[in-house]
Amino acid sequence: MPTSYQPAPLKQIAPHGGVLVNRVLEGAAREDAIKKAAKLAKVTVNEWEMSDIEIIGVGALSPLTGFMTPDEFDSVVDEMKLPNGLPWTLPVTVSVAEAQAGSIKEGDEVGLYSPDGQFLAIQKVVAKYKHNKAKEALKVYGTDELNHPGVAALYKKGEYLLGGPIEVVNLPPHNDFLPYRLTPAQTREEFKKRNWRRIVAFQTRNPIHRAHEYMTKVAMEITDGLLLHPLMGVTKDDDVSAELRMETYEAIVGAYYPKDRVIIAVNPSSMRYAGPREAVFHAILRKNYGCTHFIVGRDHAGVGNYYGSFDAHYIFDYFDPAEIGITPLFFDYTFFCKKSGGMASVKTSAGTKEDHITLSGTKVREMLRAGEMPPPEFTRPEVAKILIRGMKTTDEAANI
């Protein structure tokens, strides 16, 4: 019997489906594609689809190599699985208007372009099919109300979908957050350099307040490091701007986290606000980035009152954990508990509701606009100061 044990050789979590996809062309293949594109029909994608081109290209949506065919679309929408049985909860599609669809035939290749005319990718059109928006709305979002931002975005898409693989020639251009724009291959390499075996990911589209800090730090107790992975694609108009959010992340990590145990990286995908289905989608995406654990809080990826507070927890029960392949960490309502004298959740607090310091989003925005600091038990003062400054700038700009 050995008297001591050494760490086993580092073995990273496998990407979803087993292989990390790379659809970004380089060298001669890229030059050939650029020449070919001059002869192809042009399809202009929207911002949502443009971000999907990026995350397909870099492998964040492995095993997808392109946009979904009818069989894939129906299987995902109806069964929450790809046709091969692999868990997948959200359709990933590119659309064209009915006026253009008639000139595109199955078997064609088309060029995909950004709204401002940037050539992004070539798609092999394996299938062209009518977009069943009503079915997608009801099954994926649970509603057909246009007040739901995901449904509203869905109904703005074209009437026909093009299914088939893509080859990315130019990733969507970015001139912001460049040090944080890490691909799945790059985050995996960084985890390897740090010898991290267990990595927890935190999805956010908001500034981090004390409840978020509590959840991430609890998760860090059982893992080697945290991937703070804010979503920087398309969000609702009233969400805090990406620039302001990133400033708050830098401030809070710099002041309140051990810097060698946190990596901040941008998630370039867009927000669907699909609630429980998007929670699984977000987990799979972080698995591809190399994470082994994923934080799922209350009403993850929700909006308004469209989903139950813990539907995003319950949906994971519909899948074999081995097929999902990443461990979800479920958190209940969290807050500062005056009786306990620290952060807690309804599972650990010894106090009553009167002991819980919680604020509605509306109340927080009112305080920030008035230049009033929310209580430190709710948010760190460094974060509040950044948001107060940002609110003032935004309100002044709106009045110009």
For range 57-75, the mean pLDDT: 98
The whole-number average pLDDT for the span 339-359 is: 91
Whether the pLDDT of residue 399 is over 80: the answer is no
288 lies in a domain? no
pLDDT of residue 398: 38
| Residues 339, 349: Cα–Cα separation, whole Å | 8
Domain of 91? Answer: 27-168
- For 320-369, the DSSP string reads -HHHH-SEEEE---EEEETTTTEEEETTT--S-GGGEE---HHHHHHHHH
Residue type present at position 53: I
Residue 89 counted as domain residue: yes
pLDDT of residue 364: 85
d(CA 177, CA 323): 33
User: Does 262 score more than 80 pLDDT?
Assistant: yes
pLDDT value, residue 400: 27
* Amino acid at position 321, single letter: P
Residue type, 59: G
Is 144 inside a domain boundary?
Answer: yes
Predicted confidence band of residue 299 (pLDDT cuts 50, 70, 90): very high
Residue 147 is a catalytic residue: no
Coil, strand, or helix at residue 58? coil
296 inside domain: no
Neighbours of 241 (CB within 10 A): 12
Is 108 within 8 Å of 125 (Cβ atoms)?
yes
pLDDT at residue number 235:
82
In a domain, 286, yes or no: no
pLDDT tens digit sequence for 69-108: 999 999 999 999 999 999 999 999 999 999 999 999 999 9
Q: What is the CATH number of the domain that holds 139?
A: 3.10.400.10
Of 205, 272, 298, 380, which one is the catalytic site residue?
Answer: 205
Residues 141-152: tens digit of each pLDDT: 999 999 999 999
pLDDT tens per residue, range 229-238: 999 988 877 7
Across the range 246-260, mean pLDDT stands at 95
Active site annotation includes 198: no
Number of domains making up the chain: 1
In a domain, 190, yes or no: no
Residue 120 is which amino acid?
L
What mean pLDDT value characterizes the chain? Answer: 94
The pLDDT confidence band at residue 331, using thresholds 50, 70 and 90, is very high
Rounded-to-integer distance, Cα 354 and Cα 20, Å: 49
Q: Which one is catalytic: 206, 261, 369, 389? A: 206
Q: What is the pTM of this model?
A: 0.94
Angle at the Cα of 280 (from 168 to 190), degrees rounded to 5? Answer: 60
Asked whether the predicted pLDDT for residue 113 surpasses 70, the reply is: yes
What contacts 208, CB < 8 A, 6 or more positions away?
Answer: 216, 248, 249, 252, 383
Residue 304 within any structural domain of the chain: no
User: 5 pLDDT exceeds 90?
Assistant: no
Band (394; pLDDT cuts 50, 70, 90): low
Q: 169 with 33: CB under 8 angstroms?
A: yes
The neighbour count for residue 236, using CB atoms within 10 Å, is 13
Average confidence (pLDDT) over 305-312: 96
Residue 260, domain member (yes or no): no
